[in-house]
Amino acid sequence: MIIKRFADYAASVVSAELPEDARHAAKRAIIDWFSSTICGGIVAPATMMMDAYADSIGHGKAVLYPSGKTSDARTAALINGAAVHTIEFDDIFRDGLYHPGAPVISAALALAQAKGKNGDALIRAVIAGYETSNRLAVAVNPAHYEFWHTTGSIGTFGAAAAASAVLGLDGEKTAHAMANAGTLAAGLQQAFRAEAMAKPLHPGHAAETGVKLALAAEQGVTGALDILEGERGYGAAMCKDPDWQTAADDLGKSFTIIRTTFKNHAACGHTHAAIDGVLALRAKHNLTPDNVKRIHAASFQKALEICGNTNPQTIFEAKFSLPYVAAMALRTGRVRMEAFSDELLKDKDLRQLINKVEVSVDAELDAQFPKRRAANISIETTDGETFEHYAPTRKGDPDNPLTDDELAEKFLELTGSVLGDGRAAELLDALWRLDKTADLGAISAIASSQAAAQ
């Protein structure tokens, strides 16, 4: 049973000697998770979900961010898992078309807090969740991504593996938790092809389900161990000819978490190469909206299919509009949180600039997808000059990564807007020392906006 190979590995991570670069990568992932969760936790749907599940608030040791309120592990995993994915700034595993941090860290942290685990246990659980689900994501894609949102579907396996590691389950019980993840996994792409709050619910559901299934497996609840390769299983129903054996072959031999993409822009990752290209030309040629006649962005098919909206009407739609973010990159030189507001959506000058952006599919770039996310940018000026730039990857991808300093700068910018600069810096310092932390509650106290206000 292939699920057993993944489960045995996840269980082994609890006590294995792990390379320092993998442990450091896990800390980077947790730091980045807090960046997005603290900002996403103060807006819908997380705020609405806190009201919806009010009966669970105040009961338990798992923390909701950034309010500092507590709940049981399942509720915290659900709400934090939605919060982290709301502002479109959470991490990516590029080869798997997958955001691992949202489901995996949300599940692992909530359960670790509920069970009084230390920072080292959290790091190990995160690695277990990333290493299993990243490989499963590669195995099912790109066919899976035609209809399914990998973060919600494969994320359920990662959350179950991470939660099982927190509990210290053996390989057999972890396998049953992960097997049941296969039959409860969900997340349809239609959820983010329309104006809705459903997309961030996907990782929230995955995180909550992972916690639920690990707790159930601990008590002996079993699952169908052939859920991946079975005749009516995950592979047959939700992808095309997945190579499960190859996916599992290098477990423990290499670490995919080291190849995590950390976003540099607050928008859908499919737009990032185009944003980088516009920024490069803007800086090199001193371009402004006034001296630009036309911007042409050529990229892979999914970039246009998901982000080709030329007339976004809401902030959510703007984050999935390549024309919008390209225009904003030219106008301000960055696409961070302040690039999206109701006021900007009504801005006539910005609308005129958006109308100057044309998008198309480049067959060569499309052939490289998903392992490379590239864009060709051409900008024609009002003087008749044309400047071109090829962005072979995205800033933040493993072949052009954010440095620790750049990751910290992103963290301080995002969390400082909620917690205040001083408390954000204190939290960052604590997270870099997470492996030495005996009490996760101390970190949660720093990350509370309620405490910051006091």
Using one digit for the tens of pLDDT, what is the confidence trace for 359-375?
999 999 999 999 999 99
**Is 330 part of a structural domain of the chain?**
yes
Do 218 and 284 have their domain in common? no
Range with the lowest mean pLDDT among 182-191, 219-228, 444-453? 444-453
Domain that residue 125 falls in:
2-259
> What's the average model confidence in pLDDT over 170-180?
98
Do 252 and 301 have their domain in common? no
**Is 370 part of a structural domain of the chain?**
yes
Distance of alpha carbon 305 from alpha carbon 321, whole angstroms: 10
Q: Give the H/E segment covering residue 70.
A: strand 70-71
* CB of 327 closer than 8 Å to CB of 353: yes
Distance of alpha carbon 307 from alpha carbon 414, whole angstroms: 24
Q: Is the pLDDT of residue 454 over 60?
A: no
The CATH code of the domain that includes 361 is: 3.30.1330.120
* CB of 366 closer than 8 Å to CB of 301: yes
**Is 451 part of a structural domain of the chain?**
no
Q: Which of 349, 369, 391 is the last residue of a domain?
A: 391
Counting Cα atoms < 13 Å in the Cβ hemisphere of 307 gives: 29
Give the mean pLDDT of the chain: 96
This prediction's pTM: 0.96
* Number of folded domains that form the chain: 2
- What's the pLDDT at 442? 84
Q: Is the pLDDT of residue 451 over 90?
A: no
Do 241 and 288 have their domain in common? no
Look at the alpha carbons of 115, 105, 436, 428 in this order and tell me if their dihedral is positive or negative.
negative
Q: Is the pLDDT of residue 163 over 70?
A: yes
Using one digit for the tens of pLDDT, what is the confidence trace for 290-344?
999 999 999 999 999 999 999 999 999 999 999 999 999 999 999 999 999 999 9
Q: Is the pLDDT of residue 452 over 80?
A: no
Q: Give percent above pLDDT 90 in the chain.
A: 96
**Is 402 part of a structural domain of the chain?**
no
- What's the pLDDT at 447? 87
Q: Which of 361, 391, 421 is the last residue of a domain?
A: 391
Distance of alpha carbon 72 from alpha carbon 380, whole angstroms: 56
Using one digit for the tens of pLDDT, what is the confidence trace for 263-288?
999 999 999 999 999 999 999 999 99
Angle between helices 421-432 and 404-419 (to 10 degrees): 140
Using one digit for the tens of pLDDT, what is the confidence trace for 370-429?
999 999 999 999 999 999 999 999 999 999 999 999 999 999 999 999 999 999 999 999
Where are the alpha helices (H) located in 311-403, listed in sequence order? 315-319, 322-332, 342-345, 348-354, 363-367
In this structure, the number of other CB atoms found within 10 A of the CB of residue 370 comes to: 18
Residue keyed to tokens 């480049």: 362
- What's the pLDDT at 121? 98
The CATH code of the domain that includes 199 is: 1.10.4100.10
In this structure, the number of other CB atoms found within 10 A of the CB of residue 344 comes to: 18
Do 227 and 294 have their domain in common? no
Do 160 and 236 have their domain in common? yes
Mapped onto helix, strand or coil, the DSSP state of residue 188 is: strand
Using one digit for the tens of pLDDT, what is the confidence trace for 23-51?
999 999 999 999 999 999 999 999 999 99
Query: For residues 191, 44, 339 and 412, what is the CA-based torsion angle, rounded to 10 degrees?
Result: -120
Please count the helices (runs of H) and the strands (runs of E) in the chain. 22, 6
- What's the pLDDT at 172? 98
Q: Give the H/E segment covering residue 63.
A: strand 62-63
Q: Is the pLDDT of residue 449 over 70?
A: no
**Is 422 part of a structural domain of the chain?**
no
- What's the pLDDT at 450? 58
Q: Which of 45, 48, 108, 100 has the alpha carbon at shortest distance from 76?
A: 108
Do 42 and 176 have their domain in common? yes
